Structure 1
Amino acid sequence: MSMTMIGSLFGIATLLFMFSGMPISFALGSVAVVFMFLFMPASALDTITQNVYEEMASITLLSIPLFILKGAAIGKSRAGQDLYLAMHVWMGRIPGGLGIANVFACALFAAMAGSSPATCSAIGSAGIPEMRKRGYSPGFAAGIIAAGGTLGILLPPSVTMILYAVAAEQSLGRLFLAGIFPGLLLVLLFAGYAMLRYRKEHALALAAYERSGTESPMLARESFTRREKFEMLPRVLPFVLLLIGVMVALYGGFATPSETAGLGAMLALALIAVIYKVWRARDVAPILQATLKESTMLMFIIGMSLLFSYVMSYLHISQSTAEWIVGMQLSRWILLATVLVMVIVLGFFLPPVSIILMTAPIILPPLKAAGFDLVWFGVLMTIVMETGLIHPPVGLNIFVIKNIAPDIPLGEIIRGVLPFVVLMLLAVVLICVFPDIATALPDAVMGPVSVGGGAPA
């Protein structure tokens, strides 16, 4: 059978298994096993366990459960609510300060927890009711939290970045650093939109009051004393210091990523024990259960995705597809745009973990041949995959928000997040035009890349 026929059958089988309703890990594993049985030596089936083990025997992947433990420890405590309240108190005087406070709280919590759904749940459970109580429209409030939660897979420590580092064979430290400035760019774009949207809603509320006397909570003024502001700091500063300490340990050369993840997890458990008195077995058990459940699910997806990629490579499907893409002789920017559009479409149906591990063997060789820096591209790909968390039909964060605020219609939530999708795509364009946004910090800290041509000129 020709390579084209095998590749076509492989793609069709993958789609059929995916749309059968089967869990993603089982779908990918089933496709891999079927094609091993049909097109690989019979002895290959005897080495499935060995292949999965060897593919996953990466010290970098060891950091994933530890980062998840760190995120679970913070997410299961009141850290998210305290962080949100502190931001609200300090930004209360800024127009749209409550919305901006939610954006910054999401960014800081995402940087500590590394999980988008956890960020949405922790910050949204307090932030959405408070914004609605003060007159923010339900869709606007939902959009801020859903979009803010996406920062969890861009700002370090990011599980998505860890997987990309493994798949692309790139430095995890460079990837973490490369995500910081783009993450801050998104924070500024989201905060700017929150301020503009607030001004619009405030103007409409004021017009309604002048026209008919209808009062809105948005017209009420709120202020906090200096004492109230400083009283909020003791509950927040330890977690900010935790974040800084983990980054210093990683980039100061004091610890490897896996050691840093373990350090962060232990410090997070110690902090919630001291600050929130979470140290008894019944208090810690939900944290460990959540960590075990999420880690097992994620590692199973990773294992089956790596087996899937191994079969593609053995049958030369990924190599042939990459050669075909190179052979089309597309201009480098058309090639990049085509790849990113493909990632957006895949984001309609698949989580970022599967997208990275399934597509990396196919898309990275042509991009590298075109002279793109794969660390720089990793940032772009991550932002594009983030949009998949807030656009239908999957939109995981949308359904997290729906669970937090079930009375907000799903259509209104979707309309609320769409402006943030546009802002994220704007960020992609800005990083393409000004690649130093992603490359300047890793180059400054770890030195310029010696090979690969850097980001596109």
Structure 2
Amino acid sequence: MDPLVLGGLVAVATIVILFSGVSVAVGLLIVAAAFLLIFDGSRSLEMMPEIFFADLNSFTILSIPMFIIMGAAIASTRAGADLFEALERWLTRVPGGLVVSNLGACALFSAMSGSSPATCAAIGKMGIPEMQKRGYPDGVAAGAIAAGGTLGILIPPSVTMIVYGIATETSIGRLFLAGVMPGIMLMLLFMAWAIYATWRSGNIAVLSPRHYSLREKFEILPRIVPFLVVILGVLYVMYGGIATTSETAAVGAVLCLGMAIVIYKMWNPRAIWAVLRDSTRESVMILFIMAAAGVFAYMMSSLFITQTIAQWIAGLDVNRWVLMGIINLFLLVAGFFLPPVAVILMTAPILLPILDAAQFDPYWFAVILTINMEIGLITPPVGLNLFVINSIAPKISLKTILWGSAPFVGCMILAIVILCFVPEIATWLPDLVMGPS
């Protein structure tokens, strides 16, 4: 059978299986096993266990559970609430300062936790009621938190970037740096829209903003500065050549867990156990998807589907930016239905040869891909962040949250366009710190 036709059958079968309610990892294994059995014979199935475990046999993968523990330790404390309160006190005089504070808190908390749902929950629980109380529109309040939470997969440390680095065999340290400036740019775009939207509503602050003394502004800093110091320390150790990514992640996890115990008095063994339990559950889910995606990629390669699709796309007589537009559209649609980790692992083997042939920088593309995945987090039918916001603010309808998030999707698309015209936004910092790639 023609590999392109076979690729179409694989795509249809994968969609059907995943929409049946089966978990992503199990669905990928079912599709891979079925097509290998039918088109390559039963002997090819003997390779599946070896490939499944071989994809997890990497020292770098240890950084994933370590960074997850690091984020879970912070998410289990009042760090999010303290971060929000600190920014509110310092930005209270800024027009639309409360929504700006929430977006800033989302960006900083994302940098500490690396988790979009955790960021939405931690900042939204306190930020959304406060914005509603001050008269901010429900759509702006909910949309700002939902969009701000997506920064967790772009601003380092990012599990998504680690997975991309492993799948494409690129430097994780350089990937982290590539996400910094685009993450800041995206945060500023979010803030600009949020301020405009609240100004347009004519209801920036029904209640007069509270004025904080200098003493009140400084007294909360000791509760959040240590966590920010840990983040800066982790980045320094990583880029200073002191430790590998995995070793740095392990030290960061221990420090964050220790600081959660010391600063937030998390002495209860049950609370510590909950952090480790939840981290293990999320880590196993990600690693299971990674291993299953490895088997899926092996099936695609064995049946010459990957190579044929790559050759077909590379052979299209189109401008390379038209090609990038097609790739972006594909990633956008995939992100609507699948989690970022699954999309990266399933598409990387196909897209990387195409990117190389079209002379696109893989680190720049990692940022483009991640922003596409961010869009998927606040758009239906999956839209994980939308449902997180709906669960912590049930009085705001899902429709209102969705419409409130829509302009932030526009900000993300604008960010992709800007990065296409000015790729140095993503590549400048990695080149400065680590030299040209």
**2:56 paired residue number:** 56
Residues 388-414 of structure 1: CA deviation (Å, up to 9, x unaligned): 001111111000000000110111001
- Is the Cα contact below 8 Å between 2:63 and 2:245 reproduced in 1? yes
TM-score of the pair, normalised by structure 1? 0.94
Picking from 280, 293, 297, the partner of 1:309 is 297
- Is the Cα contact below 8 Å between 2:80 and 2:123 reproduced in 1? yes
Distance 1:329 1:54 in 2: 38
Residues 404-442 of structure 1: CA deviation (Å, up to 9, x unaligned): 001101110011000100001101111111111000000
- Is the Cα contact below 8 Å between 1:71 and 1:115 reproduced in 2? yes
Amino acid at match of 1:91: L
Unaligned runs of 5+ in 1: 206-216, 450-457
The CA deviation at 1:307 is 1.0
- Is the Cα contact below 8 Å between 1:95 and 1:198 reproduced in 2? no
Picking from 259, 262, 285, the partner of 1:297 is 285
The CA deviation at 1:138 is 1.1
Q: Where does 1:29-178 land on structure 2 (aligned, <5 Å)?
A: 29-178=29-178
Q: Where does 1:372-451 land on structure 2 (aligned, <5 Å)?
A: 372-449=360-437
The CA deviation at 1:219 is 4.4
The CA deviation at 1:39 is 2.2
TM-score of the pair, normalised by structure 2? 0.98
**1:214 paired residue number:** none
Unaligned runs of 5+ in 2: none
The CA deviation at 1:282 is 1.5
Task: Write out the 4+ residue segments of structure 1 that deviate beyond 4 Å after TM superposition.
Answer: none
Distance 1:137 1:11 in 2: 42
Distance 1:189 1:12 in 2: 37
Distance 1:424 1:21 in 2: 29
The CA deviation at 1:41 is 4.2
The CA deviation at 1:446 is 0.6
**1:343 paired residue number:** 331
Distance 2:143 2:404 in 1: 5
Distance 2:158 2:76 in 1: 19
Distance 2:408 2:4 in 1: 40
The CA deviation at 1:43 is 2.8
Asked whether 1:186 is paired with 2:186, we answer: yes
Distance 1:427 1:50 in 2: 41
The CA deviation at 1:40 is 2.5
Amino acid at match of 2:239: Y
SS of aligned partner of 1:384: helix
The CA deviation at 1:280 is 2.8
The CA deviation at 1:218 is 2.0
Amino acid at match of 2:270: R
CA RMSD of aligned residues (A): 1.2
Picking from 185, 189, 213, the partner of 1:225 is 213
Distance 1:244 1:325 in 2: 42
Residues 206-252 of structure 1: CA deviation (Å, up to 9, x unaligned): xxxxxxxxxxx624232101110011100010011011000001111
Amino acid at match of 1:392: P
Distance 2:144 2:9 in 1: 42
**1:14 paired residue number:** 14
Amino acid at match of 1:144: A
Amino acid at match of 1:44: S
